[in-house]
Amino acid sequence: MNAPRLFEPIDIGGLKLANRIVIAPMCQYSAVDGRMTDWHLIHLGHLALSGAALLTIEATAVLPEGRISYADVGLWDDATEQAMAETLASVRRHSDMPIAIQLAHAGRKASTDLPWLGGGQIAPGNANGWQTVAPSPYPFADDENAPLALDKAGLARVRDAFADAARRATRIGIDAIQIHGAHGYLLHQFLSPLSNRREDEYGGSLENRMRFPLEVFDAVRQAFPADRPVTMRVSGTDWVAGGWDAEQTIAFAQALEARGCAAIHVSSGGLDPRQQIPVGPSYQVPLARAVKQAVSMPVVAVGLITDPEQAEAIVGTGDADLIALARTILYDPRWPWHAAAQLGARVHAPHQYLRSQPRQYRSLFDIAGSAEN
């Protein structure tokens, strides 16, 4: 029996990963003024024991007004940096899993309530609400407050904030950065002609719409150590006629690769409420496959990947180099263990959990490689 591809190691821009399973960033809406709390220690701590190859911190706002909600994590000042540093120090005492961070700005989709409180946008002037910004002064939904269009000074402030957050990430030992260019947030808003209706050098043609996201990538890449990878998450399509699509995604991916992007994570949607998404198992994999065929950097597939055989097929057939888990690993935090057992692979486990190895999988845990505590 051939060893499963899902559990083969891979190098991402100099960062060595033990397998092809990455934990996608997942917002927790549990921060206080951008600062991580005990919830983040519990959340990240147990995922860091999962046997995946990489743990990605949730969408982390580079400016207060870039938060999706008032309870989002941030990395814009000393207080938010210190809170994150303390959380990561505790996690790392018990796990050697590499940790990445997703740097983000929500743009016009900022200033919302918590999802379990409805998630609606909170207007400026109301408690926990603020004025949003975007490429153009058009809201996500017709009944929402219109964003302010970013002027040149505003663009510079956002770009500089991404770079400053990258420097803070460096200080606290983050292993990789993922820039959030997907799901209808600010950089995606610049990419899509549905949300970007500017008439200057940042709007109109594909080249112009890519300009600001590429400037942000360049700023982050320059601010982060050269031996640590910077990657990008994109939406492969808006799922709306006349919007961002796979062809434009490929052009963007090629431009990123030319600038030193270490990997690209292909998701979809989130920009326009008119989207018609054909949701089903592996529904975004064709988008990842299209990008994979056009670039040489590693490609990450994501979206309703729930079964180990399904994940193995995605990687084994070359549709993508890695798979990302989000809700799947919240539901089953030991999914990598269970996948290794099903596919006949081995996986790292903490010493404290070695006795849990099932009798029928006597070679499941890589005891020699397990994290020491």
Active site residues: 185
Residues 75, 81, 83, 85: is their CA dihedral positive or negative?
A: positive
> Is-contact 34 72, C-beta < 8 A?
yes
Gap between the Cα atoms of 11 and 13, Å rounded: 6
Token pair for 51: 């046997």
In SS3 terms, 126-144 reads as: CCCCCCCEECCCCCCCCCC
SS3 337: helix
β-pairing verdict for 10-12 and 15-17: antiparallel
Amino acid at 160: D
Gap between the Cα atoms of 229 and 13, Å rounded: 5
The DSSP letter of residue 23 is E
